[in-house]
Structure 1
């Protein structure tokens, strides 16, 4: 997929565990794991908003576009 999820990087910068974030924003640890691993097909804006608010970051800190990955399709 051409969209890369850098949630694990931001969690490491904030010294926070995935389970802590999941509990703080009200989603299951399994759903956060799917998002973190890049296996999610979609993300709700409300979830993205909650993640950004809790980690004090911008959506661009969590999501990036990889043109090389896209060209391999």
Structure 2
């Protein structure tokens, strides 16, 4: 039972780290584009971050389908 709990806890913690990583990636792009092009900073940073997250999700779904 403890092993199952630790496995689930690690799963949720790793997902939290992934979401935090995407948040940091968004902040990096947002800060960078604010310095370059202010009006397009938010759309560009959202587009790039969501594209990377979508590609990551596709790889996860593809891997689960193959297993």
The TM-score normalised by the length of structure 1 is 0.26
Bigger proportion of residues as helix: 2
Q: TM-score, normalised by structure 2?
A: 0.27
* Structure whose CA Rg is larger: 2
More strand by share: 1
- Higher relative contact order at CA 8 Å, sep ≥6: structure 1 or structure 2? 1
